[in-house]
Structure 1
Amino acid sequence: MKIMRYILFLLISAFFMPGVSEAASILQTEIDGAPNGATIEIKEGEYEETVVISKPVTLEGKGKVLLRSCETDPVVTIRNKGVTLKNIKVEHCGDEKEDSAIYVTGSNHILKGLNIKTKQIGIKLDNAHGVTIHDSKIDGINRGNGLDLWKSNRNTFDKLTINNVADGIYLEQSNENTLRRNNIQDSRYGMHLMFSDDNIIDDNISRFNTTGTELMESKRTVISNNQFSSNHNSVNAQGLLIYLASDTRVTGNEFVSNRVGIFIEKAENNHLDSNKIMDNFTGVQFLKSNGNKVVNNTFVGNVNDAQAIESSNNQLNRNYWDAASKVDVNGNGESEIVYTADPYFLTLTADIPEYQLFFQAPGIILLQNMLKSPADQLLVDSAPLMNMTMKVKKEASSNFSLWIISAMMILASFSLFIFGRKRR
């Protein structure tokens, strides 16, 4: 009898309560019924729903609004022209490789104030043009890209925070986009451009990634006023990788504490001007690259300033090198002593890593002067500058640590000397 009453209660509840499919269609019904140009305000709450916006309306969250879905479809799909989406948190737990939290196609859309959590792609732009995305955050689990562009041109991405994704911002066959004031970290590539031309990368921070930024077969990219730092957690890590790319302008950037500051491979006619290249293992490295220019840069505290392998006609001129001998006879701000960047120490430690302990040791310097590296690996600055082109602020703790390391090495040397004599 009790079982029959329980079943009857369930049937009555199912009849009078709205079904899941009906509840899930609340937002979509409002969107479909709104006229062009309308603003649809979403009340505070959590919505297990996917929505499609195909007309010029504004969808705006009021208070804490969460849209969540684990389906293969995006949580939000934006099409056609003139959609605005703002002040919404989006969570997508779909696990398929091509899943995305937000899918955008069409033109002239605005996405603002979004907080996205995703297992795969954060925002996918597919043939999307003139789209603006700003003041938003994307968190992933190192699987998909934060922003993923395919054949999407003239878009602007400004003040985005992107963490723990595969590539922070990935462009493929996408031209004339502007990436500005974004902060990307703990990812594979901060920004990754493939077969994409005439893009601007300005005033971004890319740190703790495998590679700060990579350009591959891309032309006329402008990279200015960015900070590429602490990209050193892999044997293949670098601040900036220019691969098979040309006519790149790299100016006013900071490359600090990377494994390689700037790696130029199979690339021609790229211009590096007025950058700070500091505390990297290798400052600038050329591999099979010709006809590039490195001028007016500041090289400070790098283990190895520059290296060239199978590269020729790369012009180094008027750079500041802290390792250079400097004599200015005529007072023009240029040293009369030519500076030669010899990667002897780097070549030596590549074969025997333990030799890194002898960095700047007198014996190593003597060997480097006696046993020159091959001519194709030497980079020569005929007019090194007397003064830095960019301000360098050294941390006091860095100098203190250097003194501690030096003291430990001296004590170790004395210990070996004393114990060695006792055994005899």
Structure 2
Amino acid sequence: MKKFLSAAIILLMILFGQTVYAADGETSLQSLINQTKPGDVLELPPGEYVGGATIDQPIHIKGEKDVSILSDGKGPALAIQTDQAVIENMTFIDQRTPTDETVYINGKNNELKDLTIQTNGVGIQLYEAQNNTLENINITGNQAVTFAERGNGIDLWDSNNNTIQYSNISNVQDGIYLEKSEENAIFNNEVTNSRYGYHLMFTTGTNIQHNYSYFNVSGMMIMGTEGTNVENNHLQYNQKSIQSIGLLLFDVKKAYVAHNTITNNKIGLFVENSTNNEITLNKLKDNYVGTQFLKSTDNNMYQNALLANVVQGQAERSSNNKTNENYWGDHTRLDTNGDGFSNLSYTVDPFYLTLTKEYPPYQIFFQAPGMHFLEQLFNAPTDQWLTDDKPLMVNPLESVTNEQTYSLYVLCFSLFLLFVSTTIIWMGVKKQ
């Protein structure tokens, strides 16, 4: 019923709303907003406008090409304290401190799209805001200062059922930060050159799919959450610190982590203090450490591909995790009964990782014959080893791709045969 009423209100606004055009020489955004009635469209011609404005009624503000909103230095360049407002096609410029918000939202069913934000602080703050949509937002922070002196790109606090999609964020503290929020959707965004690409704290039911995180300290930090869905994300080249991680699951429960590409990070996947998570069909390649478990139990990791990592994996103070049926690029495989699983189990001895953690210079002896001798001489307790009792014979990610390619070839060939057969029959009929 609430959704029906909201749709009805929006329809009435469209039918009866008027278009308001900003007068020449008028530069106060607040003054223009005050002249706009609920349901009206305020069109801004090219130029610079002074912000520090508040929207407290459902209106639509649309900028033409080259519209800039400048902060007045006192508060957010734009504060949205209403429901069902639409803001599109303009640039916000804010040079205040990292704790200041350039755009502030405290309302429901608002839509922000095609915006550019240049900020020293928080690009967009959603505070107790529900069911809002942010689309095609480009946010750039202050590259000249440290991460601690920057604000987050998009920051959600106690905000539920919002959608953030098709946005690009760079040079901020955390690209998209969520805390104490539920059922938010994060789709098709890209974060670069920041501290954490995506940072979840104490959230429930977050859906984070098809996002990119490149050249950050860490790609995706998921902490204190339940029911998080992490699918088809690309977390790559996050190496700005010796502790850089592609994907961290810390104190995470019942997450579904699948089809992610996690490559060229210091640590690919780190699972700590986490339980009952499903981790499958992920590509972990060219990381220093492929996957690492610490004080985690009852997780299920299967059908992942671990390729060309310096250390494929490690488990410490972790028990009852299922780590079978994965593909390990450096495993010597033997399948005597043709069931697709190797008869030889795969075990990761954590000796090298433990040694180089205590004595980093020993990294130069990677794969040296003497290192293998030391592994045999100083074996760690085997209950801390990461073991796969049924390693896959074939990379599951490549096999899926090959099946799809094969199906495409079969379809194309079948269509070709159909075309040839039809042509021959048609030519025969025509000849008669």
Q: TM-score range by the shorter chain?
A: 0.7 to 0.9
Query: Cα deviation per residue 1:311-365 (whole Å; 9 max; x = unaligned)?
Result: 1111111100012110011111110001011111111212222221221223323
Please say if 1:102 is aligned against 2:109: no
C-alpha displacement at 1:375, in angstroms? 2.2
1:390 partner SS: helix
In the alignment, the residues of structure 1 paired with residue 397 and residue 26 of structure 2 have an alpha-carbon distance, to the nearest angstrom, of: 57
TM-score normalized with structure 1 length: 0.84
2:297 to 266, 290, 301: 290
Amino acid at match of 1:107: K
Listed as ranges, the gaps of 5+ residues in structure 2 are: 1-24, 400-432
Superposition map of 1:194-205 within 5 A: 194-205=201-212
Instruction: For 2:376 and 2:207, locate their aligned partners in 1 and report how far apart those are by CA, in whole Å.
Output: 42
Task: Please give the per-residue CA displacement for 1:116-173, whole angstroms capped at 9, x wherever unaligned.
Answer: 0110100000011111001110001241000011100000000110001111001010
1:331 equivalent in alignment to 2:331:
no
The secondary structure found in structure 2 opposite 1:311 is coil
Preserved CA contact (<8 Å) 2:247 2:268: yes
Give secondary structure in 1 for the equivalent of 2:397.
Answer: coil
Normalising by the residue count of structure 2, what TM-score does the alignment of the two structures yield? 0.83
**Offset at 1:55?**
1.2
Task: Please point out which of 156, 170, 181 is paired with 2:163.
Answer: 156
What pairs up with 1:199-238 in 2 under 5 angstroms?
199-238=206-245
Correspondence for 1:140: 141
- Could you say which residue in structure 1 is the equivalent of 2:81? 79
What is the identity percentage for the equivalent residue pairs of Structure 1 and Structure 2?
Answer: 38
- CA offsets 1:42-88 (integer angstroms, 9 cap, x no match): 01001123221111111011110000115131001111210100000
Provide the rounded CA distance (Å) in 2 between the counterparts of 1:112 and 1:256: 31
Q: Which amino acid aligns with 1:387?
A: V
Alignment of 1:261-410 (within 5 A): 261-391=268-398
3-state SS, counterpart of residue 361 of structure 2: helix
CA contact (8 A) 2:27 2:48 kept: no
Distance between the aligned counterparts of 1:100 and 1:289, measured in 2?
37
Find the aligned partners of 1:307 and 1:291 in 2 and give their Cα distance: 16
Computed over aligned residues only, the root mean square deviation of the Cα atoms, in angstroms, reads 1.5
* Greater mean deviation of Cα atoms: 47-56 or 298-307: 47-56
Residue of structure 2 equivalent to 1:49: 51
Aligned to 1:77, what secondary structure does the other structure show? strand
Mapped to 1, the partners of 2:54 and 2:32 lie a distance apart of 11
What one-letter code is carried by the residue in structure 2 that aligns with 1:367?
A: L
Task: Trace 1:105-124 onto structure 2 (pairs within 5 A).
Answer: 105-124=106-125
Please name the residue that 1:396 is paired with: none
Deviation, structure 1 residue 370 = 4.5
- The one-letter code of the counterpart of 2:91 is K
Q: Alpha-carbon deviation of 1:369?
A: 3.9
Say if 2:51 and 2:72, in contact at 8 Å, map to a contact too. no
- Matched residues in 1 for 2:121 and 2:183: separation? 26
Match of 1:175 among 171, 175, 182: 182
Distance 2:127 2:43 in 1: 27
Please, which moves more after superposition, 254-263 or 228-237? 228-237
- Whether contact under 8 Å (2:29, 2:50) holds in the other structure is no
SS in 1 for 2:168: strand
Deviations 1:206-229 (A, max 9, x none): 111111111111100000000011
Aligned to 2:29: 27
Q: Distance in 2 between matches of 1:357 and 1:214?
A: 30
Name 2:63's counterpart in structure 1. Answer: 61
The letter for the 1-side match of 2:132 is: V
> Which letter does structure 2 place at the counterpart of 1:134?
E
Counterpart residue type for residue 111 of structure 2 = I
Q: How does 1:82-93 map to 2 (within 5 A)?
A: 82-93=84-95
CA distance in 2, matches of 1:168, 1:284: 24
